[in-house]
Structure 1
Amino acid sequence: MADMAELDDHFEPTDSGASETYPMQCSALRKNGFVMLKSRPCKIVEMSTSKTGKHGHAKVHMVGIDIFSNKKYEDICPSTHNMDVPNVKREDLQLIAISDDGFLTLMNESGDLREDLKIPDGDLGEQLRFDFENGKDLLCTVLKACGEECVIAIKTNTALDK
């Protein structure tokens, strides 16, 4: 019997997608919430529900924007079916430096540094670089989902203003 107890504590590693999403009934999803569309973590920007047809199920039409690439995805799902919702984590990190190759040096609240995120593309990246070079103390909002991370927003760090 001792062998069984040892087996109970042994967990097999699973593929990376295991705990990165959780199921939610389609009818419970809401605009501005998150959902997996075409295997990508998306923010729901439009939702509409069709009436129940003669075959029974109301259908939910969703339009989502990929939270990392800003690509638009659409899907239609029966309202009673489950859809995968990504576990999305948001964290504000203080910007310490920008390296020559475009990597950010960020510090979390406990003082740990990370240097594995690049400046975001487009206007946000340009604004970040401009504000930083002009001496602004910035917080970068980092979104993490499905093994990916990126800076999605910046704001002036007001915690240091006395």
Structure 2
Amino acid sequence: MEDDFEVGSSGASATYPMQASALRKNGFVMLKSRPCKIVDMSTSKTGKHGHAKVHLVGLDIFTGKKYEDICPSTHNMNVPRVLRTDYMVLGNNDGFLTLLDEHSEQRDDLKLPEGELGDSINKKIEDDESITITVLKALDEEQVISLKMHTK
């Protein structure tokens, strides 16, 4: 029987373990198999069976959906590796952004986000304004989360 292992591009796995008691508010954690930002957490007292419990509330970093979990404080939880990257926006080609990273590498496989952020980016492109976007990446998912104007 052959084992099939997925290999990440950097050689690092998409998540790493961290003891529940070491997690902090505004940090990241995997809740219900989704990468979440911790917005609230509390620790209960040690009960009669010996474990303090950590109650975590997190928001999915891509969808904003709320997730909750309770776990013994001594247990490990998975923490997603979250990467923030800034790109200079060169244009919009059929709903896909043409981007340039800090190493002058071009890419055009990222979708223009929907809603207000996407509309703003599109308007800046049409007005020929120079902008940078910030992209969040975790577990092979990527999403534009913000845009910055260039000041001359």
**Shared topology, TM-score over 0.5?**
yes
Distance (whole Å) between structure 1 residues aligned to residue 144 and residue 81 of structure 2: 17
| Alignment partner, residue 26 of structure 2 | 32
CA distance in 2, matches of 1:42, 1:107: 27
Greater mean alpha carbon deviation, residues 14-23 or residues 26-35: 14-23
Q: What SS does structure 2 have at the residue aligned with 1:131?
A: helix
Give per-residue Cα distances to partners, 1:127-148, cap 9 Å, x unaligned. 2222332332111101111111
Is 1:141 aligned to residue 134 of structure 2?
Answer: yes
How many residues are treated as equivalent by the alignment?
A: 147
For 1:124, give the aligned amino acid: L
**TM-score of the superposed pair, with normalisation by structure 1:** 0.84
User: Whole-Å Cα distance in 1 between the matches of residues 77 and 90 of structure 2?
Assistant: 39
The aligned counterpart of 2:115 is: 122
Query: 1:42 aligns to what?
Result: 36
Runs of 4+ in 1 over 2 A off after TM superposition: 15-18, 130-136
Match of 1:53, SS state, is coil
Tell me how far apart the structure 2 counterparts of residues 126 and 68 of structure 1 sit (CA, whole Å): 18
Provide TM-score, normalisation by structure 2.
Answer: 0.89
Q: Does 1:107 align with 2:109?
A: no
CA distance in 2, matches of 1:69, 1:111: 30
Choose 1 or 2 for highest CA Rg: 1
Structure 2 residues not aligned, in runs of 5+: none
Aligned amino acid, residue 150 of structure 1: Q
Residue 136 of structure 2 is aligned to residue 154 of structure 1: no
* 1:57 is aligned to 2:57: no
Q: Which residue of 1 aligns with 2:89?
A: 95
Aligned twin of 2:75: 81
Root-mean-square deviation (CA, aligned residues, Å) is: 1.7
